[in-house]
Amino acid sequence: MKAVKVGLLGLGTVGGGTVNLLARNRDEITRRAGRAIDVVHAATRHLDRPRTCSTAGIRLTTDLFEVVDNPEIEIIVELIGGESLAKELTLRAIDNGKHVVTANKALIALHGNEIFRRARDKGASIGFEAAVAGGIPIIKAVREALVGNRIEWLAGIINGTANFILSEMFYESREFGEVLAEAQRLGYAEADPTFDVEGIDAAHKLTILASIAFGIPLQFDKVHIEGITHINREDVAYAEEFGFRIKHLGICRRDERGISLRVHPTLLPARQLLSSVDGVMNAVMVKSDALGPTLYYGAGAGAEPTASAVVADLVDVVREFTLEPENRVPFLAFQSDALSHEPLLPLPEIEAAYYLRMQAMDQPGVLAEVTRLLGEAAISIEAIIQKQPTPGAEEVPVIILTHRVREWQIQQACARIEQLDSIQGYITRIRVERLD
């Protein structure tokens, strides 16, 4: 049978990895897919750049639309990143009767509802496994293997760059800028690395995970987002004293009050498996009713780990060529007319335990005042410690761990505590999750 002809948009980190992987494992991939899969046309910004892959047999162009409009091509692989142009190209590819595979989480999180609608109208397949947690087959697992379960919550380390920075800064004592530059050199970071360190990339991925876990439309604008830039060594050290590590997590949860979506630094018990996930590795823990907790771990970024997911999607698309669209796995795991439109919980209603750190004057009665204000907001305290003052300083750090509270309670209590004359500056707040 004739090889499937693939058009590639972007020949950077993931594009190069995809070409290499398809070439190296061509025989095995053909035996699995039933047909060989060949990249025959590729677009890139610069034709004369040194490449990580051979481009023998691939027609190269700088014109992305030339590839999308090539009538020989059956599947377009979108690996340029960004959103507007990627969306235009994806919709055009679908209108041209092609299937699309993408690693672009911004594209799916922001425009997926529209893209999937168009794909359904035209009978196109859209693969996006590489968009969430790189090579880890988490979309496959949640969308297919867990279909018998009701998912309660899902929590994950889903940005490799941020996890790499946290691990190297706090456990290897390296500087932020130096570690970020290394993540960029290794091809882990987004074109705009603020997406990694400010939590936006993780929020794109969480948007997708929440949709396939709960059967809701993609709603990026409902995610509460915090990045890693305000985490400091002091908090990492105090967290360790309490038996926690600080990780940047994406969490979506469904309870009787509704669904919440959030991305933020989190204190996790050191014994919790996710606490040991370091460097560029990602891991997603899923709690479902029948199976209980499961953990999916692997490389969240990098050329070949991401290409592994791109190629898996290519093979799925080829295997589904002969299936009627209504018999394919639904894009968001649930049938499109069965998505739930229940409202998501607003931030003040989201529940978590808290780590609070404040600078208090070293004088009698301060702790009593602080605990009184927490009590008035109905916040119960799990632990409280007052550290020794640094020599010559008038203030002492006070660290408090609370039980689970609603966001509005903690905001109200912190605002009142910060007004006390005996408390200096702002209170550092980091959520605590035990994931049990």
Ligand X SMILES: N[C@@H](CCO)C(=O)O
Positions marked catalytic: 205
If the CB atoms of residues 180 and 350 are measured against ligand X, the closer one turns out to be: 180
User: Is residue 159 involved in binding ligand X (CB under 6 A)?
Assistant: yes
Nearer Cβ to ligand X, position 159 or 260? 159
**Parallel/antiparallel/unpaired status of strands 151-157 and 224-225:** unpaired
Choose which of 43, 67, 79, 133 interacts with Na ion (CB under 5 A): 133
> Which of ligand NAD, Na ion, ligand X, none is residue 18 near (CB under 5 to 8 Å by kind)?
none
- Picked from ligand NAD, Na ion, ligand X, none, the partner binding residue 129 (CB below 5 to 8 A depending on kind) is Na ion
Cβ neighbours of 293 (radius 10 Å): 14
Q: Which residues share a beta bridge with 37?
A: 4
Q: Would you say 112 or 134 has its CB closer to ligand NAD?
A: 134
By CB under 6 A, the residues from 268 to 307 that bind ligand X are: 300-301
Q: Which is nearer to ligand NAD, 307 or 366 (CB)?
A: 307
Residue 350 is encoded by which pair of tokens? Answer: 């989201």
Q: Which two tokens stand for residue 213?
A: 């876990």
b/e string for 342-380 if b means 16 or more Cβ within 10 A?
A: eebbeeeebebbbbbbbbbbeeeebeebbeebbeebebe
Stretch that binds ligand X, among 60-68, 156-164, 271-279, 354-362 (CB under 6 A): 156-164
Whether residue 283 contacts residue 167, with contact meaning beta carbons closer than 8 Å, is answered with no
Residue 15 labelled as part of a binding site: yes
Binding site for ligand NAD (CB under 6 A): 10-15, 43-45, 62, 64, 79-81, 85, 103-104, 130, 134, 187-188, 190-191, 301-302, 306
Annotated binding residue 10: yes
**Interacting residue with ligand X among 134, 250, 279, 330 (CB under 6 A):** 134
Q: What distance in Å separates the CA atoms of residue 119 and residue 93, rounded to the nearest whole number?
A: 10
| Residue 19 contacts Na ion per CB under 5 A | no
Instruction: Name which of 90 and 102 has its Cβ closer to Na ion.
Output: 102
Interface with ligand X (CB under 6 A), residue total: 11
b vs e for 173-194, b when ≥16 Cβ sit within 10 Å of the residue's Cβ? eeeeeebbebbeebbbbbeebe
236 known ligand binder: no
Distance CA 400, CA 17 (A): 47
Among candidate residues 266, 218, 14, the one with its CA nearest the CA of residue 116: 218
Residue 17 assigned ligand-binding role = no
Q: Is 81 annotated as a binding residue?
A: no
Nearer of residues 275 and 282 to ligand NAD, judged by Cβ? 282
Distance CA 281, CA 18 (A): 20
Residue among 83, 131, 136 nearest 103 (CA): 131
Which DSSP string corresponds to 205-259? HHHHHHHHHHT----GGG-EE--STT--HHHHHHHHHTTEEEEEEEEEEEETTEE
| Under 8 Å between Cβ of 246 and 166 | yes
CB of 12 to ligand NAD, least distance (A): 2
Q: What is the CA radius of gyration of the chain?
A: 24
CA 340 to centroid of chain Cα atoms: 22
User: Applying CB under 6 A, which part among 154-162, 244-252, 338-346, 364-372 lies near ligand X?
Assistant: 154-162
Residue 45 binding target from ligand X, Na ion, ligand NAD, none, CB below 5 to 8 Å by type = ligand NAD
User: Which CB atom, from 58 or from 132, has the smaller least distance to Na ion?
Assistant: 132
DSSP letter (8 states) at residue 344: B
Print the binding letters for residues 113-132 with Na ion: x by CB under 5 A, - otherwise. ----------------x--x
Question: Does 64 count as an annotated binding residue?
Answer: no
* Residue 188 near ligand X by CB under 6 A: yes
Closest residue to ligand NAD, based on beta-carbon distance? 12
End-to-end CA gap in the chain: 51
Residue 207 makes contact with ligand X by CB under 6 A: no
With vertex at residue 178, the alpha carbon angle to CA 172 and CA 180, rounded to the nearest 5 degrees, is 95
In terms of Cα–Cα distance, which of 60, 69, 61, 70 is closest to 88?
A: 69
The piece of 91-99, 184-192, 348-356, 403-411 that touches ligand X (CB under 6 A) is: 184-192
| Residue 302 binding partner per list Na ion, ligand NAD, ligand X, none, with a CB distance cut-off of 5 to 8 Å that depends on partner kind | ligand NAD
Residue 187 touches which of ligand X, ligand NAD, Na ion, none (Cβ within 5-8 Å per kind) = ligand NAD
107 is a site residue for Na ion (CB under 5 A): no
Residue of 78, 129, 168, 196 interacting with ligand X (CB under 6 A): 196
Contact residues for Na ion, defined by CB under 5 A: 129, 132-133, 136, 309
**Known binding-site positions for NADP(+):** 9-16
